[in-house]
Amino acid sequence: MLANAFVLIALGVYGYITSGSPTALIAPAIGLMLAALAFPVKNENKTAAHIAVALTLIAAIMFFVTGFMRSNILVIIMAVFTLFAFIMYIMDFMKRTKEREEASEKGK
């Protein structure tokens, strides 16, 4: 989660510096939110995890749409990285669910 946040912050700030457009700061804002959510998620806070995953999916869709509409490779890179992070989050959820199920079966 932190890796995705840092990529969004770095590429968004770079985009702002090169273009001067304030809309380029949307990605760093999302990155800051994901960075803030990373610590509660690390402590197994399910609500924070679901918020982070939803934010990541919305951001990935938004970046893909915007990147292709504007033919902006920087935004498309952010979209691909964010989609990869979303897939990794889902895989982690599935792994944790399986581990919980196995633990509950051992406890029976």
The reported pTM is: 0.89
- Provide the token pair at 16: 């702002």
DSSP assignment string, 39-55: HHHHTT-HHHHHHHHHH
**pLDDT tens sequence across 30-81:** 999 999 999 999 898 999 999 999 999 999 999 999 999 999 999 999 999 9
pLDDT attached to residue 100: 87
Measured between alpha carbons, how far is 57 from 70 in angstroms, rounded to an integer? 20
- What tens digit of pLDDT does each residue of 1-11 get? 899 999 999 99
pLDDT value at position 108? 65
Q: Could you tell me the maximum CA-CA distance found in the chain, to the nearest angstrom?
A: 61
